[in-house]
């Protein structure tokens, strides 16, 4: 009898504590606030989710705006997380990753008064309260491909992808085009090996594939493979060859073996858009594209392992891309057409 009472008391105590939490929702009008949800890769994926959050944090520091995030563990979390953010006092909600596209459409339709944006996705029919933000990842990839082509001494380079999808294909075709362009410039043939790790989280697989490429004669391997890609960089470190990083400056992983990185400044683009929305602009129903011209993709300024002459040449190519004289391909058709134009 006593124990039953105790249990009842205990359960009641726990419930009271929870209810107490419910009561403290005094909404403070604290001004503009921005929030984001990650896709299932998580906030610490050392790739675009992390870049997105870092960008938002910088934006917060610079403008005093409150920022927060919700991490999604499964694809079914996208809707629930977006809804939860909608309940909080966030004024502008970011949905990071093309995986979240369908969930966002549903939530945006349910909450027509809230404003959303999505990273890495362009809809055929963008809802009125959603802004699509895409990146021309083929542009920095073209640049690093060009650099690889100019730097290789064995005329043999490689590319390791995570899992094949539209975004990774941007990286791949852009890179291949850059290598081909450099090859044409120097009047020689450069072989490009391509292999997929079928995972964004198997570093050992990435390392094994890169080791194979290095032992077959490649001296530079570019990776767009997330967690598997760190294995590629590791292989370069151990083989004494070069790797090219992606999304963020990955030189810190192997200071002597990372030639350069193809930067996709997700955070910067998000800051730009968030600031404009905060100042009253409305991009609902549109897709914004960020490339070199907008300074949201590129390569790091400091590349200790790169030949300064190659860097100079690369900057000239960057200008050509910015003013439209070179259009980096992002799909198979565009790449085939690009190769034709080189002939």
Partner 1 sequence: MLNSVTLLIAITLMYSTPMVFAGLGNLISEKTGVINIGVEGMMTIGAFAGAAVCYFSGNAWLGFLCAGLAGGMLAVLHAAASIVFQCDQTVSGIAVNLIGPGAALFICSLLFEGATSTQPVSDKIPKIFGDISAEGILGNLNMDVTVVIAFLMAAGMWLLFYKTKWGLHLQAVGEHPAAADTLGIKVNRLRFGCVIASGVLAGFGGASVTLGIVSQFTPITIAGQGFISIAAVIFGKWTPHGAYGACLLFGFAQALTVLLGGGESVIPSQILAMLPYILTIVMLVLFVGRGVAPKASGKPYEKGSRT
Partner 2 sequence: MNKIADALKKPVIRILAAILLGLMAAGVILAIAGYPPAASIAALGKGIFSKPKYISNVIIKSTPLIFTGLAVAFAFKTGLFNIGAEGQFIIGCLASTLVGVTVKLPAVLQIPLILITGMAAGAAYGGIIGLLKAKFGIHEVISGIMLNWIALYLSNYVCMLPAFRKGDTNGTDQVSEAGRTLILGAWKKTGEGAAVLKKIPVFGEILLKTDANIGFVIAVLTAVVLAILLKNTIKGFELQAVGYNKYAAEAVGINIRKNILEVMLIAGAVAGLGAALYITGNSPHKVTVLSAFEGMGTNGLGVALIAGSSPIGCIFSGLLFGGLLYGGQALQYEVGAPTEIINITIGTIVFFVAIIQGVPKLLEKYGGRRKGHAE
Under 8 Å between Cβ of 284 and 260: no
Window 79-98: contact mask with partner 2 (x via CB under 8 A): xxx-xx--xx---------x
Per DSSP, 145 falls in state H
Window 211-230: contact mask with partner 1 (x via CB under 8 A): xx-xxx----------x--x
Q: How far is CA 250 from each of CA 205, 255, 341, rounded to the nearest angstrom? A: 19, 9, 33
The whole-angstrom separation of Cα 331 and Cα 328 is 10
Residue 196 binding partner 1, by CB under 8 A: yes
Residue 120 binding partner 2, by CB under 8 A: no
Residue 26 binding partner 2, by CB under 8 A: no
Minimum CB separation from partner 1 for residue 227, in Å? 5
Which of 266, 263, 244, 262 is CA-nearest to residue 254? Answer: 244
**Which of residues 33, 40, 195, 289 is near partner 1 by CB under 8 A?**
195
The whole-angstrom separation of Cα 44 and Cα 36 is 14
Nearer to partner 1, 253 or 288 (CB): 253
Residue 305 binding partner 1, by CB under 8 A: no
Minimum CB separation from partner 2 for residue 201, in Å? 6
| Maximal CA-CA distance, the chain | 92
Q: Which residues pair with 70 in a beta bridge?
A: 37
Residue 337 binding partner 2, by CB under 8 A: no
> Which run of H or of E encompasses 228?
helix 226-239
Nearer to partner 2, 10 or 304 (CB): 10
Q: How far apart are the first and last CA of the chain?
A: 90
Window 23-42: contact mask with partner 1 (x via CB under 8 A): -------------------x
215 contact, one of partner 1, partner 2, none, CB 5-8 Å limit per kind: partner 1
Which of 103, 98, 161 is CA-nearest to residue 133? Answer: 98
140 contact, one of partner 1, partner 2, none, CB 5-8 Å limit per kind: none
Nearer to partner 2, 75 or 336 (CB): 75
Q: Which residues pair with 192 in a beta bridge?
A: 157
Nearer to partner 1, 102 or 252 (CB): 252
**Which of residues 66, 83, 106, 238 is near partner 1 by CB under 8 A?**
238
Q: Which residues pair with 94 in a beta bridge?
A: 36, 117
- Binding segment for partner 1 (CB under 8 A), chosen from 1-9, 193-201, 268-276, 277-285, is 193-201
Residue 111 binding partner 1, by CB under 8 A: no
Residue 102 binding partner 2, by CB under 8 A: yes
Contacts 24+ apart (CB under 8 A), 53-56: 53/267, 54/267, 55/265, 55/266, 55/267, 55/268, 55/269, 55/270, 55/271, 56/94, 56/267, 56/270, 56/271, 56/274
Nearer to partner 1, 95 or 257 (CB): 257
Minimum CB separation from partner 2 for residue 84, in Å? 7
Window 152-171: contact mask with partner 2 (x via CB under 8 A): ----------xxxxx-----
309 contact, one of partner 2, partner 1, none, CB 5-8 Å limit per kind: none
Minimum CB separation from partner 1 for residue 226, in Å? 9
103 contact, one of partner 2, partner 1, none, CB 5-8 Å limit per kind: partner 2
Which of 119, 80, 81 is CA-nearest to residue 265? Answer: 119
The whole-angstrom separation of Cα 320 and Cα 54 is 30
Q: How far is CA 261 from each of CA 137, 224, 252, rounded to the nearest angstrom? A: 12, 10, 11
Residue 46 binding partner 2, by CB under 8 A: no
């Amino acid at each position: 009898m006593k124990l039953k009472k105790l249990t009842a008391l205990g359960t009641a105590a726990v419930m009271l504590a929870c209810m107490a939490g419910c009561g403290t929702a005094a909404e403070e009008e604290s001004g503009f606030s921005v929030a984001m949800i990650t896709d299932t890769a998580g906030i610490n994926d050392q790739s675009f989710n992390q870049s997105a959050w870092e960008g938002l944090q910088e934006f917060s520091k610079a403008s005093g705006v409150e920022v927060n995030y919700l991490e999604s563990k499964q694809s079914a979390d996208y809707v629930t997380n977006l809804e939860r953010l909608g309940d909080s006092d966030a004024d502008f909600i970011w949905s990071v990753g093309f995986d979240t596209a369908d969930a966002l459409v549903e939530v945006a339709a349910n909450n027509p008064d809230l404003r959303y944006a999505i990273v890495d996705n362009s809809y055929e029919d963008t809802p009125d309260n959603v802004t699509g933000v895409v990146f021309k990842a083929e542009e920095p990839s073209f640049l690093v491909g060009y650099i690889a082509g100019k730097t290789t001494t064995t005329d043999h380079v490689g590319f390791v992808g995570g899992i094949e999808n539209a975004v990774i294909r941007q990286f791949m075709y852009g890179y291949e085009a850059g290598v081909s362009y450099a090859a044409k410039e120097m009047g020689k043939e450069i072989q490009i090996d391509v292999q997929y790790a079928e995972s964004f989280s198997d570093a050992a697989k990435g390392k094994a594939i890169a080791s194979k490429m290095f032992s077959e004669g490649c001296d530079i391997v570019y990776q767009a493979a997330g967690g598997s890609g760190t294995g590629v960089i590791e292989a370069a470190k151990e083989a004494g060859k070069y790797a090219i990083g992606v999304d963020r400056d990955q030189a810190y992983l192997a200071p002597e073996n990372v030639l350069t990185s193809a930067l996709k400044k997700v955070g910067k683009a998000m800051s730009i858009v968030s600031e404009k929305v905060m100042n009253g602009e409305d991009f609902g129903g549109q897709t914004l594209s960020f490339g070199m011209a907008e300074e949201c993709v590129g390569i790091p300024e400091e590349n200790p392992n790169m030949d300064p002459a190659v860097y100079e040449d690369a900057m000239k190519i960057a200008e050509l891309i910015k003013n439209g004289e070179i259009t980096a391909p992002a799909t198979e058709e565009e790449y085939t057409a690009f190769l034709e134009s080189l002939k």
